[in-house]
Amino acid sequence: MGVSVPAAFAVLLIAMLVSFGMLYVSSENAYSMVHKATEDYNQMALRAKTSELELTGYNYTVGTGFYDITFNITNRGSTLSPVRWTYILDGIVTTTSVVAPSREYLLPGEWTTVTVQNLQTDPTITYSLVVSTEVGCGLKIKWKWVGNTTNGSPQVVSSAWYCPVEG
């Protein structure tokens, strides 16, 4: 009429083995995921700490009341991907005012150019461009027009590499 003691014991034993098996698999998967996430974070942090862009020069072309400026940027760190960069001109993300490199990779020691177009020849305006890379770091360049609106040239005020994700 009832379930015998050995049958009940067998059912409980099988249930316990299945439970422990599932617990082991779950804990192994969790450990693997945490370990992989730690490796990914360490790799990202290392890449951010070893990447660096440097402004190595610039040139310009002048029109009537406007000018275009081209910055020569050299990679002094790890391999970067210019197609994944973001350009922030005077605090606004832009794709129309900046002619960006279409290269897939920029290897250490290689250089590329970034051109900002149709800027006013106004000596009261200081422009800034941030080239934000895929690792979260950026090269900020500030420049202004020196002279009057009809005669003068752009001059770089400062350039700096910064990595806010370090640490």
Are 101 and 26 members of one domain? no
Maximal CA-CA distance, the chain: 108
Length of the chain: 167
Number of folded domains that form the chain = 2
Are 63 and 110 members of one domain? yes
The domain that holds 58 is classified in CATH as 2.60.40
Range of the domain at 19: 1-50
Where helices occur in the chain by DSSP H, the ranges are 5-49
User: Which of 9, 34, 50 is a domain's end point?
Assistant: 50
β-strand 66-75 against 53-62: which pairing, if any? Answer: antiparallel
C-alpha to C-alpha distance for 12 and 104, rounded to whole angstroms:
60
Res 2 pLDDT > 70? no
In a domain, 167, yes or no: no
Instruction: Give the pTM.
Output: 0.72
In a domain, 121, yes or no: yes
Q: CA-CA distances (angstroms) from residue 80 to 8, 42, 48, 75, 117?
A: 64, 17, 10, 8, 24
Per-residue pLDDT reduced to its tens digit, 39-91:
888 777 776 677 889 999 999 999 888 999 999 999 998 899 999 999 999 99
